[in-house]
Amino acid sequence: MSAALEPEVAATAVQPLLSVRGLQVHYPVRTGLLRRTAGAVRAVDGVDLDVPRGTTYGLVGESGCGKSTLGRAVLRLTEPTAGSVVVAGTDLLSLGPEALRRERRRLQMVFQDPLASLDPRQSVESALTEPMAVHGLPGGPRAHRARVRELLDRVGLPAAAAGRYPHEFSGGQRQRVGIARALVLEPDLLVADEPVSALDVSVQAQVLVLLEELQRELGLTYLVIAHDLAVVKHVSSTVGVMYLGGIVEEGPSAPLYARPLHPYTRALLSAAPVPDPVAEERRERIVLTGDLPSPADPPSGCRFRTRCPWVQPTRCADERPALRTVAGHRAEQRVACHWAEDIESGRLPARGAA
């Protein structure tokens, strides 16, 4: 499998298809008989990202960090609280219901659980032809049925699958149906939320190869959300690491995995197994202490400071770090840490280190 789903592209040289600025998704916390608002769960709290056309942006983080909420907010399946989501020059948050419905033809999603995302009472043909009818695609029923069979062949399913129902397929086949449904309207942007996490390992590889082939043939742009570091590494040219509602590190896949800058990224990579016993024995291990803070009451300053082995009594609690470039690294690799240079150079030892 190739190291990315697309040719190497300099993000700064390509106009982004998707541009997100200051995106927030806050859920109000209500208490008492009068249901007064006592606070908010900050599921997504000020995210910026760009995805150039024809590339793949991989979003990784532990459960509860807000990455799935971010993916749904990009498509307005979850309504953002603030910010902007611009797709090919159109701000989705400024659109009314009818304009958004028309725009959704260009934006589709592949869900984590293919069985839950498919209507058990609809055959595959019905599930795939319905979007074409809703959006008024040219051609009658015969042309739509031909389109369904073309898509089934493209995702590796036989034409006979059109007459079957979701429960008659395996997990991998259902995900192929989900991908075909996402492609039926010929979208520009595909948001894939944990597209292989519910599948067997052997089937995961097949689905990832299929996504690679579809991107190459159709020029698709992907936002891939996953907690599996290996999946994100193989499918993405750009990786964003998310923690407690914000992106703490972002950069090209290979440099970020080779020289991670943020303590959280370093901890995630140190927890991933390495298929080399000697390297596994010698590599650095970073064990995080404490629990993930509540997004309803996030820590002041750096959100990661309550678990960070390199936390300092100054700045960490007072100032939330912004994404910035670090000297000696590619301009595209940015980190939200006040002490990234000192941590990488070893000038700042971890707590408990000699």
> Does residue 334 form part of some domain?
no
pLDDT digits (tens, 9 = 90+) for 19-78: 999 999 999 998 888 788 888 999 999 999 999 999 999 999 988 899 999 999 999 999
Q: Is 0.85 topped by the overall pTM?
A: yes
Looking at residue 48, its pLDDT comes to 96
**CA dihedral sign of residues 136, 77, 100, 184:** negative
CA dist., res. 344 & res. 210, Å (int): 38
DSSP helix/strand/coil, 254: helix
Q: What is the CATH number of the domain that holds 46?
A: 3.40.50.300
Query: Which residue range is the domain that position 240 belongs to?
Result: 11-31+38-121+180-254
Looking at residue 273, its pLDDT comes to 73
> Does residue 111 form part of some domain?
yes
Name beta bridge partners: 27: 41
Minimal CA–CA distance to 321: which of 270, 262, 272? Answer: 262
Q: Is 33 buried (19+), middle (13-18) or exposed (0-12) by CB count in 10 A?
A: exposed
DSSP helix/strand/coil, 70: helix
DSSP helix/strand/coil, 309: coil
- Number of Cβ within a 10 Å radius of residue 309: 18
> Does residue 294 form part of some domain?
no
Looking at residue 36, its pLDDT comes to 84
In whole numbers, what is the pLDDT of the chain averaged over residues?
89
Contact present, 246 and 45 (Cβ < 8 Å): yes
DSSP-assigned letter for residue 106: G
The region of weakest confidence among 239-253, 270-284, 325-339 is: 270-284
> Does residue 318 form part of some domain?
no
The region of weakest confidence among 95-109, 204-218, 286-300 is: 286-300
Q: How confident is the model at residue 7 (pLDDT cuts 50, 70, 90)?
A: very low
> Does residue 337 form part of some domain?
no
Q: What percent of the chain has pLDDT over 90?
A: 69
CA dist., res. 191 & res. 208, Å (int): 14
Q: Which amino acid is at 321?
A: P
> Does residue 240 form part of some domain?
yes
> Does residue 306 form part of some domain?
no
Q: Which carries the bigger pLDDT value, residue 6 or residue 245?
A: 245
pLDDT digits (tens, 9 = 90+) for 94-108: 999 999 999 989 999
When mean pLDDT is compared over 25-34, 187-196, 288-297, the highest value belongs to: 187-196
Q: Is the pLDDT of residue 226 over 60?
A: yes
Looking at residue 351, its pLDDT comes to 76
Contact present, 261 and 337 (Cβ < 8 Å): yes
pLDDT digits (tens, 9 = 90+) for 148-185: 999 999 999 999 999 999 999 999 999 999 999 999 99
Looking at residue 14, its pLDDT comes to 60
| Residues written for the chain | 354
Name beta bridge partners: 59: 225, 240
Domain count along the chain = 1
pLDDT digits (tens, 9 = 90+) for 258-275: 999 999 999 998 887 777
> Does residue 344 form part of some domain?
no
CA dist., res. 156 & res. 150, Å (int): 10
